[in-house]
Amino acid sequence: MAWDPAHKSQTRQKILRSAGELFTLKGFKQVSINDVMTHAGLTRGAFYAHFDNKSELYAEAIVFAAKDAKNQRLGQAQCDQASDTMAKLLQAYISIEHAQKAQSPCPLAFLISDIGISQPQAQASYAKVLRGLIEQLSSSSGQSMQQSMQAAIAMIGGVALARATADSELSQQLIDAALASAKSAINV
């Protein structure tokens, strides 16, 4: 007997959530299909009903994890004034907590070195997410795409660099500088 469509969709979401978390924290090579499925509470056999291979899962998980992280941060940043919401969003993203693997880490910052050596399908997903962030910054702030790119570079780069160093003082300085740069770029 075949599973009903709702069950199949829920299972796919579980797999994507599990993969998004694991890939974002560990990268493509450090995560196996078995890791993803065990983390999701499912058997390996269920994987092939949803994905052809690990590379396909990785590409889709990048987009899924980015949407999940975005929704979480937007929920934390809601304010009456759009400019206040944008400031809170930047502060939630460009933070030590985010750099130190807080809940829902952003794959843009956490996979920055992994994506460069990935398959084209994963790189295309990463580009889609990056483009979406830049467009969201532009539409939310009313600033140009160029200014929004500068903010995105500060956001992603600041978190990636703060995450890469074991020096907590330097990490905080990087976060502070990145936050100031992002705010300046989109006039927040």
Model confidence over 68-94: pLDDT tens digits?
888 777 666 565 555 577 888 899 899
Alpha-carbon span 111 to 85, nearest angstrom: 26
Residue 68 pLDDT: 87
Q: Which two tokens stand for residue 60?
A: 């889709």
Cα–Cα nearest to 58, from 146, 134, 130, 119? 119
Confidence at residue 55, expressed as pLDDT on a 0 to 100 scale = 94
Specify the pLDDT at position 108.
93
pLDDT at 18: 96
Considering the chain, what percentage of its residues have pLDDT values greater than 90?
70
Amino acid 3: pLDDT: 63
Kindly state the average pLDDT of the residues 40-46. Answer: 91
d(CA 104, CA 66) in angstroms, rounded, equals 8
The answer, yes or no, to whether residue 1 has pLDDT greater than 70, is no
Q: How do the residues of the chain divide into helix, strand and coil, expressed in percent and rounded to 5?
A: 75, 0, 25
Give the residue, 88 or 168, on which the prediction is more confident.
168
Average pLDDT over residues 29-49: 93
* Spatial contact of 68 and 84, defined as CB atoms under 8 Å apart: no
pLDDT at 101: 76
The predicted-structure confidence for 8-38, as pLDDT tens digits, reads as follows: 889 999 999 999 999 999 999 999 999 999 9
- The whole-angstrom separation of Cα 88 and Cα 84 is 6
How confident is residue 56, by pLDDT bands cut at 50, 70 and 90?
very high
Amino acid identity, residue 177? A
